[in-house]
């Protein structure tokens, strides 16, 4: 029997699936998954490739829409020994009024020059993509650009934090989401709204996009360039003039 963190993904039809993860004491971690129920039959144990791997895996799941259920006890056969209630439809909670987006970046192994080098290269790469889209000037007032460059160049800095305000526009948010999605080793990035609500999938943030004065379709070209959204498939480019249904 061991303690796991349990995450749940709820489908639109009311069904759901679970994913659980545990950091073992021998330098490995175990994941379990399956449909929501009293047992998670599938499991895998792997050695840690780097200290932040479990954190990155949990963050990746949350960006996909998984929500933390809590800590549960699971035996060797995958049986959940802690009672977990099934997901029931509920009225979505009223989100607090948006005042700002809060972000933080921490280097967990700042003594390794490669950490800053990789971060600096990725920051410059993303800025280049944004400039290529012709959008960087709209957010030139955001001081995070300068702060991040300082972090990559100064050995004295190991962490940063700040805010994206409404007047800064949506581009700094897209930039930070893309930077976090890069999952650089030894770089932890947090992006949250009011009451520490984590910000992840753009498709789940219509209110936040509206607060910035935009919407998903308006930011789609840049979001696709930053690989935050999958490009839409244009069926007309896949079939010839002589293709009939």
Contact 43, 30 (CB under 8 A): yes
Are 153 and 200 found together in one domain?
yes
Same domain, 61 and 14: yes
Are residue 116 and residue 188 in the same domain, yes or no? yes
Residues 128 and 218 in one domain: yes
Indicate if the alpha-carbon torsion angle 97, 66, 107, 132 is positive or negative.
negative
The verdict on residue 80 lying in a domain is no
Residue 56, in any domain of the structure:
yes
pLDDT at residue 139 in the model: 64
SS3 79: strand
pLDDT digits (tens, 9 = 90+) for 74-109: 999 999 986 554 433 434 445 567 889 999 999 988
Residue with tokens 């930053």: 226
Judgement on whether residues 7 and 114 belong to the same structural domain of the protein: no
Instruction: Report the alpha-carbon distance of residue 128 to residue 178 in Å, rounded.
Output: 13
128 domain residue, yes or no: yes
- Residue-by-residue pLDDT tens, the chain, 245 positions: 889 999 999 887 888 999 999 988 888 999 999 999 999 999 999 998 877 788 888 888 888 888 988 889 999 999 998 655 443 343 444 556 788 999 999 998 888 889 999 999 999 999 999 988 876 555 678 989 999 989 998 888 888 899 999 999 999 999 999 999 999 999 999 898 876 778 888 888 899 999 999 999 999 999 999 999 888 765 555 555 554 44
Give me the number of domains the chain comprises.
2
pLDDT at 215: 92
| Within a domain: 157 | yes
By the 8 A CB rule, do 201 and 218 touch? no
What does the pLDDT read at residue 225? 92
Specify if 158 maps to a domain: yes
Cβ atoms 160, 105 nearer than 8 A: yes
Are residue 137 and residue 188 in the same domain, yes or no?
Answer: yes
CA angle 210, 211, 215 (to 5 degrees): 25
Do residues 13 and 52 both lie within one domain?
Answer: yes
- Which single residue is written with the structure tokens 């709820």? 10
Which structural domain range is residue 34 located in?
A: 2-74
Residue 109 lies in a domain: yes
Cα-trace Rg, the chain? 21
Q: What pTM was estimated for this model as a whole?
A: 0.60
Contacts of 135 (CB under 8 A, 6+ apart): 171, 222
Can you spell out the DSSP letters for 16-43? EEEEEEEE-TTSEEEEEEEESSSB--EE
Q: Smallest Cα–Cα separation from 163: which of 97, 99, 98, 102?
A: 102
Query: Considering the domain boundaries, does residue 239 fall inside one?
Result: no
Please give the pLDDT value at position 52.
76
The predicted pLDDT at position 122 comes to 95
| Co-location of 148 and 216 in the same domain | yes
CB atoms within 10 A of CB 108: 16
Q: What gap in Å lies between CA 149 and CA 119, rounded to an integer?
A: 9
87: Cβ contacts below 8 Å, ≥ 6 apart: 8, 10, 14, 16, 36
Q: What is the DSSP string of 158-169?
A: -EEEEEE-GGG-
């Amino acid at each position: 029997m061991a303690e796991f963190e349990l995450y749940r993904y709820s489908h639109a039809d009311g069904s759901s699936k679970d994913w659980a993860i545990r950091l073992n004491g021998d330098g490995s971690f175990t994941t379990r998954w399956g449909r929501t129920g009293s047992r998670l039959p599938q499991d895998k144990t792997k050695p840690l490739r780097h200290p932040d791997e479990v954190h990155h895996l949990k963050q990746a799941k949350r960006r996909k829409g998984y929500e933390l259920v809590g800590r549960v006890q699971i035996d060797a056969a995958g049986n959940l020994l802690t009672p977990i209630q099934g997901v029931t439809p509920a009225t979505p909670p009223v989100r607090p009024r948006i005042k700002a987006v809060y972000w933080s970046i921490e280097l967990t192994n700042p003594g390794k020059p490669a950490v800053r080098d990789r971060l600096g290269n990725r920051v410059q790469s993303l800025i280049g993509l944004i400039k290529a889209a012709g959008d960087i000037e709209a957010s030139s007032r955001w001081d995070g650009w300068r702060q991040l460059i300082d972090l990559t160049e100064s050995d004295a800095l190991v962490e940063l934090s700040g805010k994206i305000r409404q007047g800064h526009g949506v581009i700094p948010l897209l930039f930070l989401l893309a930077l976090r999605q890069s999952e650089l080793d030894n770089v932890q990035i947090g992006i949250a709204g009011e009451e520490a609500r984590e910000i992840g999938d753009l498709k789940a943030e219509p209110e936040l996009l509206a607060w910035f004065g935009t919407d998903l379709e308006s930011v789609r070209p840049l979001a696709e360039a930053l690989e935050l959204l999958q490009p839409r498939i244009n069926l007309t480019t896949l079939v010839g003039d002589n293709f009939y249904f």
